[in-house]
Amino acid sequence: NAGVTQTPKFQVLKTGQSMTLQCAQDMNHNSMYWYRQDPGMGLRLIYYSASEGTTDKGEVPNGYNVSRLNKREFSLRLESAAPSQTSVYFCASSERTGYSNQPQHFGDGTRLSIL
């Protein structure tokens, strides 16, 4: 099925470990995003990439890094995991049509627990 694919779906880490979350989309979208979802806080943008070769910080970037590997792939890295990073992480992609910002398509999420 076309869409946004995230791996892994679940992961448990120990404090201080590093990890990379992978995201790929096959819709030829220019823009890609990483969010975290926490109870009562909605979705908060971590980083985004408006187009291939560019990345920018979102609302909560501390403790994370990203790489836009190519147009399809956008990875999120935790260099030294902390319990506060326990969350569900969603990747999304979207396209622009003129000045209209088309809806974002979301992946299934990665449930990350840090002990």
35 or 78: CB nearest another protein: 35
Number of residues that bind another protein (CB under 8 A): 25
- 19 lies in the binding site for another protein (CB under 8 A): no
With beta carbons less than 8 A apart as the criterion, state whether 88 and 10 touch.
no
- 108 lies in the binding site for another protein (CB under 8 A): yes
- 31 lies in the binding site for another protein (CB under 8 A): yes
Q: How far is CA 65 from CA 76, 83, 98, 100, in A?
A: 6, 17, 30, 28
- 53 lies in the binding site for another protein (CB under 8 A): no
